[in-house]
Structure 1
Amino acid sequence: MEILNRSAEEFENDQTLEAMWAMKAFEHAEIYFNILCSVDPKYLKLTPLDDVIYTIFREEFPDLRVDVIHESELKSTKEKEKWRPFCERFKECVEDYSFGTLLRADASKEYSEDNSILVTRIQFYAIELARNKEGVNDLLRKTFIPENKSV
């Protein structure tokens, strides 16, 4: 996976690279979901800056419902203008802040093709931290059994 650390300018539309990114995003999603199903989400630490990320997220997006996310809330032109400064604020302090990461659209469901949105890593952190701190992910441990379920 050393290739993933090389500059994006070295590649055009390389399907092999795209497949590697997809695999990495899928692996991250699978691990995260299994942890959510095993541990009380309120105690999960996703980054050293969890409290800062959550506080700034809620200051900038106080009314964003995190239980069900619609892709347009993240990717419309208007929303991108709001998200871009939020994301760039973490450029120097959150590792891989802009990596493509899968987010469950509906927090009550597991990852699936229909329930996954590709977002930046910092958007994933912000929304998942809110879901964890606000109790949205609490139901997963009761609904899904980790040893019988995977992404």
Structure 2
Amino acid sequence: MRRVEIRRPGVRRINLKYLNEGEEKELIVLIRGEEQGEYQLDVVSDHKVGRTFGRVIVRGIAKNGARVKVSGLIKIAKQAQGVEDFLEMKLLVLDGKSSAVAEPKLEIMANEVKASHAATVGRVDEEEMFYLLARGICRKNAEKMIVEGFLEKV
């Protein structure tokens, strides 16, 4: 398993190449967009051969004017039968000055594969916030708890 944490604006490209049958790769990326600027992540899971397994999980936050954009692609060649791959992107926008975009894609040429993706972009759940505020936790600490819980799930 490989883990990457992004804390500064910029463009990052990660290409996971599967060249040998039986390869397994897992990538976890945390994006902490806490300062103004562009945070761009492009991830490609490129399966050249069959019977490989991949999983990419991206969690990110955007606040203080950060603009987070995540693009992910699962690419499976025609000869790469028996591949299993999953791409998950979850982004949380914490203020009105920030934005987030998640763009998952599949490019599958083989016909015997299991490949899927999931993507969400949202804000802090008001019910969660209300629950914490009702227990005497200030808004700033409540948001911090929710964000840390969101990021720590991976």
TM-score tier, shorter chain, comes to under 0.3
Taking structure 1 as the reference length, what is the TM-score of the superposition?
A: 0.24
Which one has the bigger strand percentage?
2
Which is richer in helix? Answer: 1
Q: Which has the higher contact order (CA 8 A, sep 6+)?
A: 1
Normalising by structure 2, report the TM-score: 0.24
Q: Which has more radius of gyration?
A: 2
